[in-house]
Amino acid sequence: MTKFLHSMIRVTDPDATVAFFKLIGLEEVRRFDVEAGRFTLIFLAAPGQEGVAEVELTYNWPAEDGTAGEQYAGGRNFGHLAYRVDNIYETCQRLKEAGHTIHRPPRDGHMAFVKSPDGISVELLQEGHLEPAEPWASMENTGSW
Decide which of 67 and 44 is more confident.
44
pLDDT single digits (tens) 72-119: 776 655 768 889 899 999 999 999 999 999 999 999 999 999 999 988
Report which secondary-structure segment, H or E, holds 92.
helix 88-97
Report angle CA 107, 81, 89 to the nearest 5 degrees: 30
* Catalytic entry in 56, 123, 127, 140: 123
DSSP secondary structure letters along 16-66: HHHHHHHHHT-EEEEEEEETTTTEEEEEEE-TT-TTTSEEEEEEEPPPTT-
pTM of the model: 0.75
123 is an active site residue: yes
User: 43: Cβ–Cβ under 8 A, 6 or more apart, which residues?
Assistant: 6, 28, 29, 30, 31, 54, 55, 56, 57
